[in-house]
Structure 1
């Protein structure tokens, strides 16, 4: 398995929420070198990732907190 690596930089440091259990149904987030965030499925570490600018990620988090995706 290869870690997700940003061009010209170190591997990403992925973080899983402390609210996540051990069932493997989690997403992980990493800070991108140029700003923004990346998300991936914790069950597929070498799989695809979604990337967001800082503004996009902020809007996503606010929408989640406000219950928009319930």
Structure 2
């Protein structure tokens, strides 16, 4: 995965978790920006941190931005 790969973070579910998808693959269910960072690092973006995730235009936040973790 490269930083040009579109990543989608879906709206929170009833537990507050947000599905994270990259390259058409579900990476996991995130409960915070820190979780999104961990998934992206596991997918090959080891240098990314929380600020990269919050600022990146390669991440599409659906149902609210990185500050939204509840329905």
Q: TM-score, normalised by structure 1?
A: 0.36
Higher-RCO chain (CA-CA 8 Å, sequence separation at least 6): 2
Report which of the two has the higher share of helix.
2
Q: Which has the larger radius of gyration?
A: 1
